[in-house]
Structure 1
Amino acid sequence: MSQHAGWGQHHPGQPVPPWGGWAPRPPQPGVIPLAPLGTGDVIGGAFRAFRSYWKPLVGIIMLVQGIGFLLVAVAIGITVAGIRPRFAAVFDVPSGERPGGEDVAALLLYLAPVVVLLVLTMVLLGGLITSLAPAVIQEAVLGRPATFGAMWRRCWSRLPSVLGTLLCTGLLAGGPMLVLYALFFSWLVTSGDRWVTALPVFMMIVFLVGMPVMLWLTVRFSLAPAVAVCEGLGPVEAMRRSSRLVSGGWWRTFGIAALGNLLGAAVGYAVQLPFAFLGMFALFPTVLATGDAADPSTLLFGMVVYVACILLGTAVGAVFQLGYPQLVLSLLYVDQRIRKENLAEALLASAAATPPAGAYPAGPR
């Protein structure tokens, strides 16, 4: 039997009986009790999962950030080397003159592929981080071990489906607003300057009307990545499952997810502060050494240490800022399935039939 047996779709209409009265405490083989979860269970369970499985979480997120940083650095270096001859011709022109069209075109020709590459890289790395949390939670709810290699393979195996859910959700939630803005700007360009004063009003109206719809759709499909990882479904099926699971609990899902994001941001910011202070201390000799007494090597060393501390602090803080909210969403997925499909019994049966193993089998197909 597969180690992930019990995570497949269950027929609805069989909710778990309420835990209350003098009933015994629900079993808790992992980070959460296998019963309908309260807000404290979800928030605390995500903290326990992060503490218990910090090695794969921190390792993979730091690796992903490192790959992204290297790609960004290489892309910026190539771009700077390519546009340097054209930069002065475009931005350093005599007063009253305009840069040549061929120089502007060459500059854009260098910048466009790099921007596209950076966007695709960020989307790919974001998909890896998003697929990591459900893979970890699958093991955490039953207290099973999760190694770095197993989680890395699991993330890659479900990455296409997770990216599909993120892309489809983004298009459905934000696409209409972007289309309206694009149409209005196109019309504004062709109609002349007489409607420029209407631009702020139009943007505000579209924002006020579109933001609630975008938020509603985002929350409704917020469990789709967890569905794609845990149940092995494609993007469209995962979004439909997420919509059914969130149905009847939109406000609860929104509130707990928002709380998880706030806590993740707060803890991440607190982690970044010591690195920022350390970088500021490294700048003190640079600030004090002014005039003829300033040593270029001291100035360079201070700036290098400052930038390194800021980058390192940002990377370490982002581990919690990126990972913790996804753990909260994954536990909300488990909670909704326990409430609506009695997932707890299936997981207990799976745990009894399949002993924990260090080796992590391939995910469901």
Structure 2
Amino acid sequence: MSETPGWSSPDQQPNQPNQPQQPPQPSPGYYAPPPPGAQPTIKPGVIPLRPLAVGEIVDGAITTMRRYPKLIIGAAAVVAAITQILGLLVQLPFLSDLSSVVAQDPNTLTQEQLVEQLTNTLTGFIGGTLISVVLVVIGTVFLSGFITVIVGHAVLGKPVTFAQAWEEFKPRLLPLLGATLLSTLVIMVGLLLCIVPGIWLWILFALVTPALVLERCGVGAAFGRSKALVNGAWWRTFGVLLLTAVIGWVISWIISLPFGLMGAASTGFSDDPGAALSAGSLVLSTIGGIIASTITLPFTAAVTVLVYVDRRMRSEGMDIELQRAAGHGGL
């Protein structure tokens, strides 16, 4: 199985079976960032191999999507379609019941009957929503890890096929799912205690996915690597990821708006609450969600990987390793 080269952590020997023996590792000082202007900028792939500006991170994510459209957009479209459609199918029966309850005249029911119907319907609806959330999480985990592998090749300017990316990512799928569930739990606890600790933990562990997939380390080590890379640059990392979230929200809103309007038009812009739960309106909303997710999910995942790359180049001199992996070791 081939692996994306050049991504081992400073204290980790690269795992390259059936390869010629590598020369001895340089002294620890090798990982200090080179002085600015010490060598010309090298750009074998979607980003220059030097510490990145915020605009270069965003541009690198967009360039990656444009350079590998079949892999990234195709995978994102399939994942978004499966998760959104399955979620809709799970929720449709409960939404139909909820619509019927909302449409009833409360004057024809006793208060106990109305409360009982609402409780039963909402219980089923919440259960369906939880199933939908689980499907979305699994789909997002797969997509983020798969795109991480592609971005790893894109940074080095290396071609990659679906089969190759899948072979590299497949052994990391279950550890990544476990790491995602663990980080989600930790962040939720932080949010319950207070919003600020939750946000702090979100940024602190934002780089777990690229660390786990590209460095091929364990779950605990990936959390440690994310923490080490974010330390000293929490606010910058927060700013980049917040900007990414805002861009993704704007794109999603722009794409979903016409489908929401078409759904409202299909019900005659009715003020009836049950009209918003009609099958036609929900189907249109699902189509808009699929299109929006196809663009925003890979963009967010690619930005996260490039933030990880930037942090490693700034704190560990990873640009030298990447230049060598890209075939510019003589520079």
**Structure 2 length normalisation: TM-score?**
0.76
1:134 equivalent to 2:184? Answer no
Is the 8 Å Cα contact of residues 84 and 286 (structure 2) preserved in structure 1? no
Read off the aligned partner of 1:262 and give its amino acid letter. V
Larger Rg computed on CA atoms: 1
Is the 8 Å Cα contact of residues 189 and 198 (structure 2) preserved in structure 1? no
What is the 5 A alignment of 1:87-106?
A: 95-96=109-110, 98-99=112-113
Is the 8 Å Cα contact of residues 275 and 313 (structure 1) preserved in structure 2? yes
Is the 8 Å Cα contact of residues 134 and 330 (structure 1) preserved in structure 2? yes
- Structure 2 unaligned segments of length 5 or more: list them: 12-27, 270-278
User: Any idea what the Cα deviations from partners look like across 1:73-122, whole Å, max 9, x if unmatched?
Assistant: 332356579x79x979x998964452499989976885675444333212
1:164 to 155, 178, 200: 178
CA distance in 2, matches of 1:163, 1:77: 27
Q: Name the residue aligned to 1:48.
A: 63
Measure how far apart 1:242 and its partner are.
0.3
Residues 71, 272 of structure 1: alpha-carbon distance in 2 compared, 3 angstrom cutoff: closer
Read off the aligned partner of 2:303 and give its amino acid letter. V
Measure how far apart 1:61 and its partner are.
1.2
Residues 141, 91 of structure 1: alpha-carbon distance in 2 compared, 3 angstrom cutoff: farther
What is the 5 A alignment of 1:57-72?
A: 57-72=72-87
Q: Name the residue aligned to 1:319.
A: 294
Residues 177, 349 of structure 1: alpha-carbon distance in 2 compared, 3 angstrom cutoff: closer
Q: Name the residue aligned to 1:10.
A: 10
1:175 equivalent to 2:199? Answer no
User: Any idea what the Cα deviations from partners look like across 1:148-175, whole Å, max 9, x if unmatched?
Assistant: 3444454443222222222222222221
- Structure 1 unaligned segments of length 5 or more: list them: 181-209, 289-302, 355-365
Residues 121, 310 of structure 1: alpha-carbon distance in 2 compared, 3 angstrom cutoff: closer
Q: Name the residue aligned to 1:121.
A: 135
Read off the aligned partner of 2:134 and give its amino acid letter. L
RMSD: 3.7
CA distance in 2, matches of 1:125, 1:309: 21
Identity %: 29
- Structure 1 residues 99-108 or 118-127, which shifts more? 99-108
1:341 equivalent to 2:316? Answer yes
Read off the aligned partner of 1:145 and give its amino acid letter. P
Q: How many residues align?
A: 301
CA distance in 2, matches of 1:353, 1:18: 18
**Structure 1 length normalisation: TM-score?**
0.69
